[in-house]
Amino acid sequence: MAGAVPRRVRKEHSRHFDRKIDAQQWLDAVTSAVVTGTYADPKAGRITFAAFFGEWSARQVWAPGTRLAMSLAARSVPFAGKPMKEVRRSDVETWIKQMDAAGLAPGTIKTRYFNVRSVFRAAVNDRVIGSDPTDTVRLPRGRRADVAMSIPTPEDVGQLMVVADERFRPFIALCAFAGLRLGEAAGVQLGDIDFLRRSLRVSRQVQRVNGGAIDVRAPKYGSERVVYLADSLVTVLSEHVAAHGTTGKQRWLFAGAGEEPPHQNTVAYWWRKTLREAGLVGIKLHDLRTSTPRGSSLPAATS
């Protein structure tokens, strides 16, 4: 029978209309939703975004970094206390605008958006809501990937430190909190660190030459310098040496092949793995140099 709708839906949607045409239009809309698979129980949609995320996230099998990134994104939305069925596209657009106005990098905004979008898609699949309010929302445009520099937020750096492999964590810390470039961090030897005076002498860098071989040379543009370190960074470095020792006769702080320091490709692999675990995109290791003031302390959870 045309316009028929299952008894369960008729019961859940008991409505009264003054005009027959209004009643028929409502019935047609409900029937269409059932047929197309977009029907959602109105009662289910009363659950707030925060409550739905709490229930849904508890069922997910995530790496620690992914769980941290998802929780961060969910806590950042201004509509956390709204029922899921009442969240509109305009709410999502307002949230995006707020993050952009706060100076967050386009890559960070994009990551948070896609994390929150996955929550709404899960709600659609569970028939909690009939449609996803994040669909087709426009995001801030980033610069071209080959020229862009993302400035990681302190929370991004903290996230990276939490999920990084134990041997790679001090490498990230040197780049973020001492301002070292990739090659400079790879070229650190134990003798460069003055633990008593809390300083580091930057006197070399590791570069890749033709054929992929390693070449140790003076820092870029002759930028030899002494960097003063926060107490928390000195602690991280000393614990790293105590746990893992050094490599080769030169006593490299970070291990590569044989007695050599790490190759650029090896560092790139560590970095991609850490980004993936942290649920972040669009951040280069070099960008860490601009993320925190020199000499600042590491996040409490990682120091």
User: Taking Cα atoms as reference points, which of 97, 128, 177, 145 lies closest to residue 281?
Assistant: 145
| CA separation for the pair 64, 70 (Å, rounded) | 10
Q: 125-139, 141-155, 241-255, 263-277: which range is least confident on average?
A: 141-155
Across 251-261, average pLDDT: 92
Question: Tell me: the pLDDT tens digits for 123-157?
Answer: 999 989 988 999 989 999 865 554 455 678 888 98
What is the model's pLDDT at position 130?
87
What is the model's pLDDT at position 296?
63
Per the DSSP assignment, residues forming a β-bridge with 252 are 189, 247
Average pLDDT, the chain: 83
**Confidence band for 17, pLDDT divided at 50, 70 and 90:** low
Q: Which amino acid is at 257?
A: A
| CA separation for the pair 250, 262 (Å, rounded) | 13
User: Taking Cα atoms as reference points, which of 272, 254, 243 lies closest to residue 206?
Assistant: 254
Across 21-47, average pLDDT: 60
What is the model's pLDDT at position 12?
46
Other C-beta atoms lying within 10 Å of the C-beta of residue 51: 14
Give the range with max mean pLDDT: 5-9, 147-151, 276-280, 291-295: 276-280
Q: Are 169 and 161 within 8 A, CB to CB?
A: yes
Indicate whether 174 pLDDT > 70.
Answer: yes
**Confidence band for 103, pLDDT divided at 50, 70 and 90:** confident
Across 271-280, average pLDDT: 92
Cβ contacts of 245 within 8 Å, gap of 6 or more? none
Quick one: fold of 154-290?
A: hpI Integrase; Chain A (1.10.443)
Indicate whether 23 pLDDT > 90.
Answer: no
Indicate whether 187 pLDDT > 70.
Answer: yes
CATH 1.10.443.10 domain position(s) in the chain? 154-290
Question: Tell me: the pLDDT tens digits for 41-88?
Answer: 768 789 999 999 999 999 998 877 788 889 999 999 999 999 999 999
| CA separation for the pair 202, 184 (Å, rounded) | 7
CATH 1.10.150 domain position(s) in the chain? 44-125
What is the model's pLDDT at position 213?
79
Quick one: fold of 44-125?
A: DNA polymerase; domain 1 (1.10.150)
User: Taking Cα atoms as reference points, which of 150, 280, 136, 252 lies closest to residue 191?
Assistant: 252
Residue 300 burial by CB count (10 A; 0-12/13-18/19+): exposed, middle or buried? exposed
Is the Cα torsion angle 136, 138, 144, 147 positive or negative in sign?
A: negative
What is the model's pLDDT at position 154?
83
**Confidence band for 11, pLDDT divided at 50, 70 and 90:** very low
